[in-house]
Amino acid sequence: MRTLEWDEDKDALRLIDQTSLPRAYKLIECKRVDELIAAIKSLKVRGAPALGAAGAFGVVLACTTEITKESVKQEVTKLKIARPTA
């Protein structure tokens, strides 16, 4: 299992809950941008490379769930400000 990966069958991002390690191995499934933002803010996604990849997948989520170009832009803006301080 990769730290995060796209599930084509579900149009969802699956990621390892970093807060559960090393005690447990838990997967989180994000089908909407707000779910991914919650995972980022709660530090379930950690590390610059993982955050960058999660952000890119977040854009994909926005494109699969939003109808207009403007609504996709709004979701992307939310993603940009979701990153916790380093």
**Confidence at residue 18, expressed as pLDDT on a 0 to 100 scale:** 95
pLDDT tens-digit readout, 28-71: 999 999 999 999 999 999 888 999 999 999 999 999 988 899 99
CA 68 to CA 39: how far, in whole Å? 25
- Please check the confidence at residue 1 and state whether its pLDDT lies above 90: no
- Please check the confidence at residue 86 and state whether its pLDDT lies above 60: no
Q: Rounded to two decimals, what is the model's pTM?
A: 0.88
Please report the domains of the chain, with CATH numbers, ordered by start residue: 4-80 (1.20.120.420)
Q: What is the mean pLDDT of the chain?
A: 92
11 in the Ramachandran plot: left (φ > 0), alpha (ψ -120 to 50) or beta? left
